[in-house]
Chains A and B, each alone.
Chain A
Amino acid sequence: MSVSIADPKMMASSSSTRSLLRHTFVLTRRSVIGRLRQPAVLAPAFIFPLFFAALGSASFNRLASDPYFTANIATSFLNYAVAGAVLQGVLFGSTSAAGDLATDIEQGFFERLLASPISRTAIVLGRLAASMVVAVVQVVIFMAIFLVAGARIESGPIGFIGLIGGGALLALAMSAMMAGLAIKSGSPEVVQGAFPLVFVLMFLSSAFFPRHYMKGWYRTVADWNPLSHIVEGMQGFMNHELSASQFAKSWLIPFVLAIIGIAFALRALNNRLAAS
């Protein structure tokens, strides 16, 4: 890593807000560079979501002949699947980022950072900001591919912004919670173990199939799952005219989760500092 901790610019700052921002920027850059160097990790965050979307639209397009579907849910199954793919990509990307953080802690790089004059909050915020940047890039690439494949954003350019914003906020929420987990446990294995849970949560939502068609206890879980509402907000951007409820679902919910997550992460950071 070529980021110099002993960068005189960073050590000489007077204003604490300014130094926080500067530190955050430097650490963000390091994080993003670090992730781009691991294409093997990013590939599942792209390949699997795209594959499932392709598979879904080829397998379930019959659903588009159901009037309820076309009236209330989506114009085609491809248009439906876009949001789920974005959700999957962003969630997987955030989990793997937390894995990097846990590895850093395990290998002691984190301790070195703590010993440097970089503000503690900056360390965590750096990671989170990087996640948001990567998520934005991810969403843009996904949208490009899907638009080429025949999807359409019915809510127009603002809907496109809505999707990007939603993806970024979701990444923030997920990364914050995972970062908290990483800091608390200090073990990449624990963080990796969280991924199957995320996977399960995605299935128990509207990410892959509309919950309208689910039954029984499965339907109940999907109804209560925040992921269902987040992804439905995004599906709204894709398939309906612009409306406030889409922002409420795909921005507000992740935002609230992000606050909780950041609080959790900072608390975990304080505990770790107090302990060492």
Chain B
Amino acid sequence: MTQAPIIATGLSRSFGTGDDAIKAVDGVDLEVQQGEIFGFLGPNGAGKSTTVRMLTTLLKPSAGTAFVAGYDVVKDADKVRRSIGVALQDAAIDPLMTGRELLTLQAVLYGLSKVAGKNRGEELLERVGLTAAADRRVGTYSGGMRRRLDLALSLVHEPTVLFLDEPTTGLDPMSRLTLWEEVKRLNAGGTTVLLTTQYLEEADQLADRIAIIDHGHIVRQGAPRELKALVGSPTLSISVASSETDEARSILARFGDLRPTSEGTLGVGLARGAEDVAAVIRALDEAGLKVRHLELDEPSLDDVFAEATGYRLEGADAANKPTESEAAPEEKKSRRGRK
């Protein structure tokens, strides 16, 4: 019976001491199964990168334990490092070196001979499509190319577990798709992947299971499909004149939970599904309210996130988000990213 590749129990990390201490990660429990892609979803400042740094032995936990590839991240850090590949938020590269030189260097750092290292480098360059640019200085690479090189660097020693911290942040759509393809290919070859992201679509597309992290806690965990089903009801969002908002809100509330939607709109989760749309319109009409705009959306990860945290993710920063979830939609700074 094999142990799961990543197991964290009560993992916590605080910065600073005494009254000023910030708890960046507060009691994270997770278990990533062999061969799955696990998505860690949350806004900036939620604690994703801190968690990853603890799991990859770059940061010591303040409390809790974690086992990666079967080894304790604190006591057997060295063994953990040999089994994992890491590509962090900013590509960790030396701009003065060429791609080929960096890969050879990385290989030698991981114990290969220079010759074996060079061969391995060639292999990886081809895999990530950088053979043509291999002899150019990395400083001249585009963002997408740097990420691909970073990925190649993390694969030099054929790790069984791969950590990717926001692998496609700042990339153009083409580069993003290329990277997704590569991640899927790696996973098909048996590599377990834990990736953090602030992009819902990325989590939706790649992850077998996801965990939503907010303010250092995991608030939801499970397969995207299941989580969406839990949220269940579709979201109806309407916009009315500002003078009519209060009345509209109380009417909507009769049909389900009020939900945060984009600025200037009111949203409700229709408890009985899409069939209630007609009833809602009728009720608003009978009250003499004029609906200016109407939209019906099936639950998405966006909804899962909003339901779990009280605000929308796409484009949000943890620092900017509102503090309560019951605020009226126009008071809330919720933003709904359009794809």
Direct contact of A and B (CB under 8 A): no
Interface residues of chain B, those whose CB is within 8 Å of chain A, are none
Interface residues of chain A, those whose CB is within 8 Å of chain B, are none
